[in-house]
A and B are shown apart, each in its own frame.
Chain A
Amino acid sequence: MSERTTDVAIIGGGLIGAWTAFFLARRGQRVTLIEKGVVGAQSSGVNFGNLRLQGRFPGQYPLSLRSQALWEDFAGLIGEDCEFEQTGHLYLAYDADEQAKLEGYAEVSESYGLAIERIGPADLKRRWPWLGERAVAATFSARDATANPRLATPAIARAAARHGAVIRENTHVSAVDRSGDGFTLTLADGGSLSCGALVNSAGAWAREIAERFGETAPVFPAGPPQFVTEPFPYLIGPSVQAIDGSVIFRQIPRGNIILAGYPRTAADPVTNRAPVPPAKTLAAMRALARVAPMLAQCHVIRVWSGIEAYLPDMIPVIGPSETTPRLFHAFGFCGHGFQIGPGVGLCLSEMIVDGATPTPLEPFSIGRFRSATAVSEKFRKEFD
């Protein structure tokens, strides 16, 4: 057979693809990353920028904590700044049921070694005087952080390129075929590419590639509606989230408050657009004013969204294909992929180079969709 163009091809130049390319290139692999548009668009570029550790899916903690260590070393690894800020994350409960849920989350976090501080109403008011009166309890995790998603992925792609990865933007893959023990990719521009291993990190467009190899996952596109206020003097500190999901917000160094809230919004992967319905803007504004009444006269100046890939059980697919050796999937991050991005890239690079990763990834197997799909409670809450 003809000589391979590259050791590993990665389809999808979002955050996951870029981190995977970075770690593979650092291990000396020849890597080609193929992106239909530009690196770091859609969910990788438009998400909230939350590097949140509190309240994650329990099986995800080993991956999540491994990822946070990589984010904490971002400047050292990547050689650029992405506005990484370890401001902590404040989770708010507004009634006894929510408080019980908060306590459940805290116990899971603590069992994986995360430090969680429990805060009563009096201390809440003292430490964050801009909070409204009604919160009954809160937990604070100091290790949670934020970063600017618009800056992160292009920076990671540049670092991958410095390690030798080939990054091809504006390149469509028109066909993927098995060839020998590797793969051949046919590109829409007429070119082709042969590789030994293939990573499917095509986000909302990943299902088609999985189905090409006889497996599937019910990925669907949706967008996270997000809003930003005018800038004002720095005041908020941590990123703040009401546990009912009605609002999450943070104040960026420029002074603006970025806020987001459920339910998520419909997205069109064909036109590449996820418009924000004005009713959702109003709902998020009301929710923010409830949590922080002193912001009532603060103006919302802009909204945005983008296309994220979701799965009904609200857990991503990460790991090897069950039908095809040397094919690896990483997609469907359900709006929670930003934080675990570096860990996913590192684990995939270990699976590809070493044959295994020390991080447990069993819950994320694509095989779970062979039987009836569980619909998570989160799913019901986050969509309308």
Chain B
Amino acid sequence: MADIVIVGAGPAGISAAETLCANGLRPVLIDEGARAGGQGYRRPADGLALDMNRLMGSEAGKYAALHRRFEALLPRIDYRPRTLVWAVDGSTLHLLRDGRTETLAFGKLLIASGAMDRIAPLPGWTLPGVFTLGGAQLALKDQGCLIGSRVAFLGSSPLLALAAKQYREMGAEIAVIADTTPLSAKLSALPELLRAPRTLARGLVYMAASLRAGTQMLHGVTPVAVEGQSRVEALLLRDQRGRERRFACDAVALGYGLKPETQLADLAGAQFVHDPDFRLFLPKIDGLGRAGPALYLAGDGVRIGGADAAEASGALAAHAILGDLGRPQDIAAIRQLARRIERLRAFQRGLARAFAWPKAQIAALPDSVTLCRCENVTAGEVRAVMSREFGPIEVNRVKAMTRCGMGRCQGRVCGPALQEIVAATAGCDGAAAGRLRGQAPVKPIALAAAGTAA
């Protein structure tokens, strides 16, 4: 039995652990990764001579500070790396560590599970050489690898320019940065983005760097296809004026913003509500991150806010735990954290509006495009099942009939696009299309992990 368990060792999990330790508590910190830091502040594999200062750029100071703080924290917490939480059942966590399952009972649970890329499929997106934007960055930070030597960046995200800058600095050629959002939409979001001027300035610096380096940067594109025989050879787009443009490349990174990893929160009993700006179902939380009697959510795993907001929301959720344990409350600190998170998350909300998820483009995808790559289900199969008599109009039923979202990733990749195709085919908005419900195991587990029968 552990009094407090934190799941996730990114900035939210680490700062939560720090706040609890400062109050004399010793939390368990569970990390699916091998080294703390989460995805954004990921540490390279041991023995890899990678210049993280150069790679992290303006965030190098924060990166170094977080890891220093974690090292100082390590003797005072129960840190469990390479440990997957595959189920939450009441007040018991089911873990997978070193290929074996085990359980851990908890008193209070703080989930800071982070985020992953949201993907909009396009013809050819399952070709070898197509990566998520986050995957492209991880290859760099974790292994010092590039996904290709001439890389196209496609999506709807300010991070396209950031990743392109990192890739260029590590020696890659950039075929194009192609954003589905028109420039006008970005400009009209400026007032909201000015709420975090420093972050906005950083984004503009990345864009300027791309322009200086002579990289083609297109706004308002319509993706047509990734082309290639057995792997990526080119990215085909229509530009804002409707002209078809082909960019030769050997890899494509796709990034349409991030989506919180909410499966564990779902299993732990969080309630969900549809957010029209992000066009995602998000767990309900109170102002401090409480999602249930003993459940707390922080970081990008509950609301996309970026690393700084994650760090503050981890600390804030830890304050909520302290309060619920009857400890004295540091009201000033709580107010300051809450204000900071509110400002940073509002900025991200502005970004989500500016760099909109291209729902109309997804709804218009050709029937032949693969929607679910695990189970090999096309958009056309989903539409055909829905158009039959007594056909489903809700995502869980569509999944049952077509197997879309039923495979290894459990809809983590295809879910958002499935949502749009179902909504458009049923003629309803995103909320009415329903939410793919989470089920354990949240990630595949081998039979052998269960041990042998008595």
* Chain A interface residues (CB < 8 Å from chain B): 38-41, 45, 150-151, 154, 157-158, 161, 167, 169, 228-230, 246, 254, 276-279, 281-283, 285-290, 295-304
Contact = CB atoms under 8 A, between A and B. Distances in A.
Interface residues of B, number: 32
B10 to A, nearest CB: 25
Interface string B439-454: 1110011111111110
A286 B440 contact: no
Contacts of B446: 296-300
A169 B390 contact: yes
- Minimum-distance CB pairs A-B, first 8: A299-B444, A285-B450, A278-B87, A296-B448, A286-B453, A282-B450, A290-B453, A289-B447
A288 B450 CA distance: 11
B343 interface: no
Of B392, B400, B451, chain A has the most CB atoms within 10 Å of the CB of B400
8 contacts: A154-B401, A158-B388, A254-B375, A283-B450, A285-B447, A289-B450, A295-B447, A300-B446
B403 interface: yes
Contacts of B448: 289, 296-297
A313 B7 CA distance: 45
A282 B94 CA distance: 10
Given A283-B450, A296-B446, 20 more contacts: A40-B390, A157-B390, A158-B388, A169-B390, A278-B440, A279-B89, A285-B445, A285-B449, A286-B447, A286-B453, A289-B448, A296-B447, A296-B448, A297-B447, A299-B446, A299-B447, A300-B447, A301-B410, A302-B410, A303-B440
Contacts of B406: 228, 302
Contacts of A299: 408, 444-447
Nearest to B437: A273
A40 B392 CA distance: 11
Nearest to B402: A150
A287 B453 contact: yes
A276 B388 CA distance: 31
A276 B440 contact: yes
Contacts of B390: 38-40, 154, 157-158, 161, 167, 169
Given A167-B390, A169-B390, A286-B451, A301 B86 contact: no
Given A158-B388, A281-B441, A299-B444, A151 B408 contact: no
B16 to A, nearest CB: 25
Contacts of A301: 407-408, 410, 441, 444
Contacts of A288: 447
A167 B390 CA distance: 9
Given A299-B446, A300-B444, A282 B101 contact: yes
B30 to A, nearest CB: 16
A154 B448 CA distance: 37
B381 to A, nearest CB: 13
A278 B94 contact: yes
Contacts of B89: 277-279
Contacts of A229: 447
Contacts of B87: 278, 281
A286 B441 contact: no
Contact of A303 (B397, B441, B453): B441
B286 interface: no
B407 to A, nearest CB: 7
Of A41, A290, A299, chain B has the most CB atoms within 10 Å of the CB of A299
Contact of A276 (B375, B439, B444): B439
B404 to A, nearest CB: 12
A371 B56 CA distance: 77
A287 B452 CA distance: 8
A151 B86 CA distance: 30
Contacts of A297: 446-448
B389 interface: yes
Contacts of A40: 390
A286 B403 contact: no
Contacts of A300: 441, 444-447
Contacts of B451: 282, 286
B453 A38 contact: no
Of A228, A230, A278, A288, chain B has the most CB atoms within 10 Å of the CB of A278
Contacts of B444: 230, 299-301
A230 B408 contact: yes
Contacts of B407: 230, 301
B439 A158 contact: no
Given A298-B446, A301-B441, A302-B406, A286 B452 contact: yes
